[in-house]
Structure 1
């Protein structure tokens, strides 16, 4: 049986004019700022006007550790939103925007898949409403102003060896990871080591996704540390006087983007910080606004629950005052088999024993979510190669842990294929069982916070931090940053820092390579093992297959 590609399905969508989607949410026309016929931004004035309304129920969709077999977290998020509407609930979804780098590299887009997609799929996965370009421009403005400040006398006494503000571009380009800038003589400034990160790793992205409004955005931008002086005192963005102009560039990007699913249900698509470097969640302003407009809001957090869900709970919810009501943990039979030792090429054959061997990865995520006090259900994302015995093995395993697992067919059937999970989610939300609490208290030392996440979530035996890192953490505590949460940067493929260790590994340590203070975003980045803030393209990048066909339509996006 031949299935249509995601882009073919998206192109056949029966989209409604975006004004009709806004009408369903009771957003007045003057507060809907259209970008074409099928997408719009929501005005800050309207967002301000709904703040006194009660909040709807918040549902987080997370997953097991990602595998090459695919899990379908965004697809499940979109499908569940459609499923909730299908059973008569007023629901909307909140997801992240796509980065151009992964689109043209290996990961693909971020609009869902099959019959559970957000449209317009092509625009969402390309330039969309220009938010990422605005973030890149704001970040680049600060980069230019720092070097310009040094060139014209260096009033802030920046130590050129200690400029910590790297440049960004929204593309996977390994050749830019480490560069030397300002070559070419006196008129070009002072040569120094420099480098590029991908835009989604920028602190500006993290700030935009955590800021409550434009005033909060400007203050956070001003608080960013861009360099240090010879006495090691920090130089802030506000010392360079860049935060005002950066806010101007980000004025429109701060407003959530309204689009629709294939079933014409509303979706906010806004922001997109990396999940293994930053906190991996869509914007606070989109989520909090959605909670005022719908009875149920379905959102996602990047990669597996050990990264995305932990940061959602410990950073986003803590900082935004959110209280999630239910969690859906996405798993696939295929991924369980890979965790059980089956090669990707052999996933089509029934291997119940391998499914059972791989289930402990799912089990650990289930146990971890219980630590945040939010009830969970497991969503098994169906593939046509799954056998009844394999699916039952996952269900039986989950039942032993006291969690229901439900088979979902939203990729094939849309909202109709996930109504059972939708009903279960409503039951969990209305049960009042949620008693959300972050994993650690603000008052713990930074080192204790790092150890708590590593031992409680990853199940490491110990955390390896040398004296230099421990002293740095103590310095930040002395400077008043000790109450910040920690943002763990590690591989998404394993609970450990070794990406080849699938399943539920034990008997390992977590080495902390470096720590970074994101004073504007409001967290400490803890780099564990080898993490790239600028990915590279694979041997055969997706870009080689993306083109316009004879009809002028885009082919190859996925």
Structure 2
């Protein structure tokens, strides 16, 4: 049976008033700030009153390394949440908000797909409740105040060559990657080189997603390093006097957004940090709120498990005191074929041998995830072209890894397609088998943390960096930042730093070409290989096909 395009399914959804969705989690209408009829923010005062409640079960959905064949991590997250609701569990979903850049570029949105979607899909993938605009404004307010501070005498003695705070825009625009500002004469300030990143790469975004409350948010914003003096001492955002006004701009953005799935499961959609340069998870405040209100919370982390899950465990869970009960690892037969050497144009033909070869990537992720002490279940996200022999090959391989794999048809059937998976995940989460522990202790030196991730997660022979980078890490340790976790920034397409090296490579080298201190967010970024913090548009961006039709409906968004 043919399934309609995502946007048609979402548009035809029978949405319930957001007050009814809130009531499922015992959120009264007085604690919801509605944005129309189908979305609302949850009041901060209500959230503050939940601290004494016990936590529900936390389930992470992650995936194998992404390929052009598609994996469907968000779709599976939504499908599993609906599946838990279907079997009578009080469930909630937590995912990130979508960035405008990928929507108008080539990646598309982030609301699921088929009959496993979060709605309102169109609003979620466009302006939503304005959170990203608030983050963009707060970030750029600080940038403006830095240049203004320099213009009016530079009391902090900022070295103009060492201003590290760039500007941001929630759009893919390669022309803005490197710019020169303050041209046009004395009245416009002092010219200097700078540039733009995409909003999701902003440290402000990472901070909003890790802050516990408004007070913690303001403290973290003040801790951000924006520049250095000639003696290399750091200048903080609080030295510029920007932290208070930035917090005011982010006051409403800090409140989690509540929406619903097609089957009316409550969903918190909040925050969206870059999964390369930051930790790629939804906000701590949304996850913790959901855990106080639901018995089972299904969340996801960006890209494959080598990036998203590792950062979820080593950054988000470590800093927020979270302890996951189960991990669902998403794979598709099509993606495993690509990992087994099949080209995209040949994925339609049955090829059990290629599936088996590609399962090495799946097996590596299973092994890595078990290393965190959390039970792993594999979800095979079904595509109509998958054959019984190919599916059986995956299930047999997973069984040989000491795990189990469930075929999931949620894209076509909604919660009916994840009932078996939901039942098993609930059993595992309730069983108490999880003994979660991060990969490394806080007190481990920064370079050793980088080596640990490279060797134990990427299975590299070694990580390399020149003396300058290692000296910088030692300097940060001397300044009191040695306890921070590391945030590895590398390609999402491979365990290595080569995006074309699929499968489960071993013995490769992870070159660290740059390190950055995100002092406010609370992690050290290790940039490996070529990572862009301002993407560009493809030759034919999705924006070329997006328009309003005669009825006023959006066409071409998906």
**TM-score bracket for this pair, using the shorter chain length:** over 0.9
Shift of residue 2, structure 1, vs aligned partner: 3.8
1:319 maps onto 2:319 in alignment: yes
Q: Distance in 1 between matches of 2:437 and 2:530?
A: 30
1:433 maps onto 2:433 in alignment: yes
* 1:258-304, Cα deviation, whole Å (9 max, x unpaired): 00000011000000001011000000000000000000000000000
Contact 2:3–2:412 at 8 Å: present in 1 too?
A: no
Q: Distance in 1 between matches of 2:378 and 2:41?
A: 33
1:80 maps onto 2:80 in alignment: yes
Q: Distance in 2 between matches of 1:312 and 1:506?
A: 23
SS in 1 for 2:481: coil
1:42-61 equivalence runs, <5 A: 42-61=42-61
Alignment correspondent of 1:372: 372
SS in 1 for 2:350: coil
Alignment correspondent of 1:129: 129
Shift of residue 390, structure 1, vs aligned partner: 0.4
1:7 maps onto 2:2 in alignment: no
Alignment correspondent of 1:260: 260
* 1:360-402, Cα deviation, whole Å (9 max, x unpaired): 0000000000110000100000000000000011001100000
Alignment correspondent of 2:476: 476
Q: Distance in 2 between matches of 1:3 and 1:404?
A: 28
Q: Distance in 2 between matches of 1:46 and 1:185?
A: 52
* 1:419-444, Cα deviation, whole Å (9 max, x unpaired): 11001101111111100000000010
Residues matched between the structures, number: 558
Alignment correspondent of 1:144: 144
TM-score (norm 2): 1.00
1:275 maps onto 2:275 in alignment: yes
Contact 2:80–2:418 at 8 Å: present in 1 too?
A: yes
Alignment correspondent of 2:452: 452
Q: Pick which of 1-10 and 99-108 moved more.
A: 1-10
Alignment correspondent of 1:341: 341
1:186-201 equivalence runs, <5 A: 186-201=186-201
SS in 1 for 2:61: strand
Contact 2:284–2:316 at 8 Å: present in 1 too?
A: yes
Unaligned runs of 5+ in 2: none
Q: Distance in 1 between matches of 2:150 and 2:276?
A: 33
Shift of residue 97, structure 1, vs aligned partner: 0.1
Alignment correspondent of 2:355: 355
Q: Distance in 2 between matches of 1:23 and 1:340?
A: 47
Alignment correspondent of 2:183: 183
Q: Distance in 2 between matches of 1:51 and 1:547?
A: 45
SS in 2 for 1:92: strand
Shift of residue 556, structure 1, vs aligned partner: 1.1
Shift of residue 512, structure 1, vs aligned partner: 0.2
Q: Distance in 2 between matches of 1:51 and 1:268?
A: 18
RMSD over equivalenced CA pairs, Å: 0.5
Q: Distance in 1 between matches of 2:230 and 2:435?
A: 48
SS in 2 for 1:480: helix
Return structure 1 stretches of 4+ with deviation > 2 angstroms: none
Q: Distance in 1 between matches of 2:407 and 2:540?
A: 34
Shift of residue 3, structure 1, vs aligned partner: 2.7
Shift of residue 550, structure 1, vs aligned partner: 1.1
Q: Distance in 2 between matches of 1:442 and 1:22?
A: 38
Alignment correspondent of 2:246: 246
Alignment correspondent of 1:466: 466
Q: Distance in 1 between matches of 2:441 and 2:532?
A: 29
1:91-240 equivalence runs, <5 A: 91-240=91-240
TM-score (norm 1): 1.00
Shift of residue 316, structure 1, vs aligned partner: 0.1
Q: Distance in 1 between matches of 2:336 and 2:540?
A: 27
Alignment correspondent of 1:517: 517
Q: Distance in 1 between matches of 2:471 and 2:24?
A: 54
1:409 maps onto 2:424 in alignment: no
Alignment correspondent of 1:424: 424
Q: Distance in 2 between matches of 1:265 and 1:329?
A: 21
SS in 1 for 2:118: strand
SS in 1 for 2:515: strand
* 1:151-172, Cα deviation, whole Å (9 max, x unpaired): 0000000000000001100000
1:304 maps onto 2:291 in alignment: no
* 1:503-527, Cα deviation, whole Å (9 max, x unpaired): 0012210000100000000000000
Q: Distance in 2 between matches of 1:415 and 1:386?
A: 20
* 1:69-97, Cα deviation, whole Å (9 max, x unpaired): 00000000000000000001000100000
Alignment correspondent of 1:535: 535
